[in-house]
Structures are given as C-alpha cells and as structure tokens.
Amino acid sequence: MLERFRQFWTGFFSPVADGLLRLGVSPDAVTLVGTAGVCVGSLGFYPRGQLFLGTVVVTLFVFSDLVDGHMARVSGASSKWGAWLDSTLDRIGDGAIFGGLVLWFGGGGDDPVLAAVALYCLVMGSVTSYARARAESLGMQAKGGIAERADRLVAVLVMTGLSDLFNLPLLLTVTLWALAVANTITVFQRAMLVRRQALALDPPDHR
C-alpha cells in the first residue's frame, strides 16, 4: 500500500542523490551507511528505552533506500550485485529495528510477552521476504499480501516513536500484535499463491 508514495519521496530526495553522485559517492556506499545508521539508531537507543530518539535516527537513515536506488538508476550503475546488496542489508536493518525492541522489552521494558511478540515479528518478517525471494528463484511470483515490508516498517517506526513521545505504550503494544497477525496472514497468502503456481506448472500425478 505504501509503495505508492515511493515516487514522491524519490523525487523529494533526488537533489541529495544527485549531489552525492557529483561528489563521487557510489550507491553501494549509501546503502552501507544507511544500514549502519539504522542499526546504530535502533540498537543504540531502543534497548535503553529511548524509543523516540532512536526512531528519529532510524527514520533519517531509512530514506537512504530511496537515495541509493535513484543514484543507481541515474548513474547507470544498477546491477545484480547492487540489488542483492540492497535486499540483504534491508534484512539486517529490519532485524536491528525489531531486535532493539526485543532487547528493550526483555530488559528495562520488563515485558517478556511483548519481547516474544517483537521477536515473532522479526522472524515472520524475514520469512515473508524469504518466501518471495525463494519463489522468484523458482520462476514464480510471491509478491503481495496485507503486510509488505514498507507497510511493516512505517507502522513500527511511527508507533514506536509516538508511543514514547506521548507516553502511550499501548500504541506500540497494539502495533506489534497487529504486525504479528498481519505477518502470519501475509506468509499464508504467499504460500497459497506459490502453491497455485506450482500446481499449474507441475500438476500432481494421480496415477
């Protein structure tokens, strides 16, 4: 759903991307710095309960995903290596965000149940991405579902920041539970999509 805003934000950050290209910065470098920033923001602040500050830092670096993509297209540097690096580092960034929340709830946040829910969101988010990647490696498609990466990322960042800013932890609690359910449904949706394609390509032998 939130992918529709990608074009707007890409245009918004295009002057930054163009400026970096003029300075000789490569798209891969932006990808690496962006992921490092997300990891520092989430693992450096979330475990200490500084959820709003951590979210501000993470959000600033999350937009590097749009900047590096624009840089690669404009410079003609798009490559399979760049696509693989970007997707792989996205998994690291997502893991750091939810991992930071797991550490908070398992430590100072003192909520083992929410720590487990955040961990479940981390795992199922990775499974969602893997389901699509594996399907594509087999010549099929598994894109879609009610909780794609952009939706999950925006939801958890916005509600994590607001829950701390307004001292309303219920916002984050509801969001994590909702993401846990949505991730589960999305994995099931992608599994059913792949199953239909697989049966069409290789129908079962009833002999």
Task: Please state, in angstroms and rounded to a whole number, the distance separating the CA atoms of residues 37 and 64.
Answer: 10
Closest CA to 118 of 31, 189, 34, 42: 42
The residue written with tokens 């290596």 in the block is 81
Contacts of 170 (CB under 8 A, 6+ apart): 163
CA angle 157, 10, 160 (to 5 degrees): 5
Residue 33, Cβ neighbours under 10 Å: how many?
15
Q: Is 90 a catalytic residue?
A: yes
Question: Which one-letter DSSP state was computed for residue 202?
Answer: S
From 86, 90, 94, 164, the catalytic residue: 90
Annotated active-site positions, please?
90
